[in-house]
Amino acid sequence: MANDREVLREIWDGKIPVCFTLNSEEICDLQGPDPFYLMVPRLSYFPLCTEKVRKHFIRHIQSDKQEHEMWLEFNGIPLKWHYPIGVLLDIYFNDIQLPWNIVVHFDKFPENVLMHCQNKEVVEAHFLSCIKEADVLKHRGQIVSSMQKKDHTQLWNGIMNDKFDQFWSVNGRLMETSTEEGFKYIPFRCYTNEDKYIQKLVKPMNEEGQRKTLKHLLNEVFPDQENVTVRTHGIVPPLETPLQWMSEHLSYPDNFLHLIVITS
Amino acid sequence: MAAKEEISNVTTETKNKELDSTTEDPPTSLETISEGNAVRNGVQAAQKDKTKIDILLKATANAPIMKQKKWSVYQDNPIGRISEFIKKYLKLDPNERLFLYVNQTFAPAPDQTVKNLYDCYGADGKLVIHYCKSQAWG
């Protein structure tokens, strides 16, 4: 894996420019705020990088709404904060021009669409739960359960503070395989539209002990469809990419591959 | 072993009632829901296996036990709906938090579907979900 560390680094460093504007209906002063521009890491989550956005807009809304939970919208669709930013970007890829224009709201929280997120601890709980689930698939949960609380904290701090080495010194253990066979199953989610994804048990090897590829995975998930391709991290990986390698190198920090089915 | 006994008790003692994805108030209207769907299931018996998934709801720690533990639910139901249902069934305050766990390990996101979880973590024809009023498994 050592020689492919550059891939991990490239993926980690992916950032996208976002232009945040306040929902015009919520502006309460005459002039209104300027838009707020920010480079956000693809691998992060919006609540981890929008503190400044909140501070920028809060002075321009009614004082009784300033304590409200902030939420984000793109093209009339509330953005799910519990998806990594890069996943949202890949889902709405066809409609997005950079910088990505996102509308900020403090009013009318869409209760039925979004989970509440009052603080970063909520994101942390969600993130660690994903890591645990992924380890159940990869190693029957044995590695994550053998870790100490400080290891979990280090994973979280790594992603929250954008520290690659800190994150990978622990995450490397979650990516280890003791046998030639690789992980027990590949943790992945295949997004077929903006709010639906498919998750299944797919092994990295076939019964003859040969490495399976992305093509095998897509055949297993979509047995009735041919020529399915997916996007992840803004790229379309070749169908012959080995699954085990993909899982080790193209997974998000939550240890899942997030694959967005390309619709033409 | 204990778990197995419990399961067999449940299956002999109660029929699988419906957790209808459209109903807003399952606990109080359970009887009518159950009858209404019983007729429909009779007609669509062949299709039932494809669209419904059996789930077993188990209390953990301080959570009250549900009298009926086994339910048949639409596979596209998000886990958040199951959580709402349990709260209503147990007459918990809507603001009270309820944590759902799969494999006694992780808490799925509310928009995760029953089907995805069953496909990955189901066994013996059903998905076991533990519920708890405080965080049970970190």
Lowest-confidence pick of A69-78, A192-201, A222-231, B4-13: B4-13
**B58 pairs with which residues across the strands?**
B130
Please indicate whether residue B119 or residue A3 has the higher confidence score (pLDDT): B119
pLDDT in tens, B95-121: 888 999 999 999 999 999 999 999 999
What the block records as the tokens of A143 is 């590695």
Q: Which domain holds residue B91?
A: 2-132
Overall number of domains in chain B: 1
User: Residue B68 above 60 pLDDT?
Assistant: yes
Question: Would you call B110 helix, strand, or coil by DSSP?
Answer: coil
Residue A27 covered by a domain: yes
A126 and A218 in a single domain? The answer is: yes
Q: Which of B106, B110, B138 sits opposite A115 (nearest CB)?
A: B110
What the block records as the tokens of A41 is 């890491």
A87 and A135 in a single domain? The answer is: no
Rounded to a whole number of angstroms, the distance from the CA of A36 to the nearest CA of chain B is 30
Overall number of domains in chain A: 2
Question: Is the Cβ pair A133, B105 closer than 8 Å?
Answer: yes
Question: Is the Cβ pair A125, B105 closer than 8 Å?
Answer: no
Ranges assigned E (strand) in chain B: 17-19, 52-59, 70-74, 99-102, 126-132
> Which amino acid belongs to residue A175?
M
Q: Residue A30 sits in a domain of what CATH number?
A: 3.10.20.620
Q: Which of A133, A152, A200 sits opposite B119 (nearest CB)?
A: A200
Average pLDDT over every residue of A174-178: 90
Position B62 scores a pLDDT of: 83
In percent, how much of chain A has pLDDT > 70?
98
A131 and A76 in a single domain? The answer is: no
Whether the CB-CB separation of B87 and B19 falls below 8 Å is answered with: no
pLDDT in tens, A91-125: 999 999 999 999 999 999 999 899 999 999 999 99
Q: Residue B81 sits in a domain of what CATH number?
A: 3.10.20.90
User: Residue B6 above 90 pLDDT?
Assistant: no
Q: Which domain holds residue A146?
A: 121-261
Cβ-Cβ contacts under 8 Å, B111 against chain A: 80, 115, 195
Where is the domain boundary, A72, A105, A138? Answer: A105
What the block records as the tokens of B96 is 């009270």
Position A4 scores a pLDDT of: 87
Residue A32 covered by a domain: yes
Cβ-Cβ contacts under 8 Å, B106 against chain A: 129-130, 132-133, 136
User: Residue B64 above 60 pLDDT?
Assistant: yes
A93 and A128 in a single domain? The answer is: no
Position B138 scores a pLDDT of: 56
A95 and A155 in a single domain? The answer is: no
Mean pLDDT of chain A, nearest integer: 94
